[in-house]
Amino acid sequence: MRRDFERLLARVAERNSFESISITTNGVLTAPFVPLLKQLNIHSVNLSLDTLDEKRFETITRRAVFGDVMKTLNELVKHGIRTKINAVIMEDVNEQDIIPLALLSKDLSVDVRFIEEMPFNGRGDRHATKWNRNGLMRELEQHLGNLLPVAGEPNTTSENFSVHHHKGMVGIIAAWSRSFCGTCNRLRITPSGQLKTCLYGQNALDVREMLRSGCTEPEIAQAIKAAIKHKAKDGHYAAQWSERPEESMATIGG
């Protein structure tokens, strides 16, 4: 999306203003940048990968770039960058990929996280039913045996589990059940410069307009603090007041 990605990332990292920097990517154009990520000590990379079947990948993404994504995965593993594979499990679409994806954690030091399907597809007509948190747990334990809970990082949205004889871990992100809301500390800036304090809520602040109108950094900081102060208690409550519960993840920034 940005032709100056290398320069942008380097300048952000060189500020030394962050405890850690992580990147979420679909992996299509990422492979050439992996050495730079290593050089800049990027904390981790979230790689979106919903299937290991090339034809099904093309059906889901509408692009024949499966090989590019797998090259990115291989480069991340080779360079020893902590990698989290994010897979949204959709009923009648890629449910047969749950176990093949989970088995990536057997020989690779990667975390494979299964995400409940959310209604952010521009129509709002799909969400996790069969493959909610409990359905995913049953499927994983049936094929992998007992899953041992692993303490996660503070404010994590993922339940993580170790598997016997696996180098990596598996996890579940209950994005539709929203069982992690009590500890979530996420903020998101959309591509149009809107601050969201919850995926399911409406925009909380127009940061772009504040920047373009000449607001000072203290003024912007105060406005962000005020938005956080009024954050909904959980995603279910936020959805009740959202004007666009069916909006697409492309407009939110996912």
pLDDT digits (tens, 9 = 90+) for 105-148: 999 999 999 999 887 655 556 666 789 999 999 999 999 999 99
CB 113 within 8 A of CB 173: yes
- Pick the range with the lowest mean pLDDT from 64-73, 76-85, 127-136: 127-136
* pLDDT > 60? residue 97: yes
Mean pLDDT, rounded, for 80-94: 96
pLDDT over 70, % of the chain: 89
CB 187 within 8 A of CB 197: yes
What CATH number is given for 5-181 in this structure?
Answer: 3.20.20.70
Give span(s): CATH 3.20.20.70, the chain. Answer: 5-181
- pLDDT value at residue 137: 96
Tell me the per-residue pLDDT of 194-214, one tens digit each, with 9 for 90 and over: 999 988 888 889 999 999 999
Mean pLDDT, rounded, for 180-192: 85
One-letter identity of residue 120: F
Distances, alpha carbon 133 to alpha carbons 172, 178, 236, 253, in Å: 7, 10, 16, 24
The reported pTM is 0.85
Confidence grade of residue 13 (pLDDT, cut at 50, 70, 90): very high
**Over the chain, what is the mean pLDDT?**
90
- pLDDT value at residue 16: 85
* pLDDT > 60? residue 180: yes
Q: In the chain, how long is the greatest CA-to-CA distance?
A: 57
* pLDDT > 70? residue 242: no
Mean pLDDT, rounded, for 142-168: 92
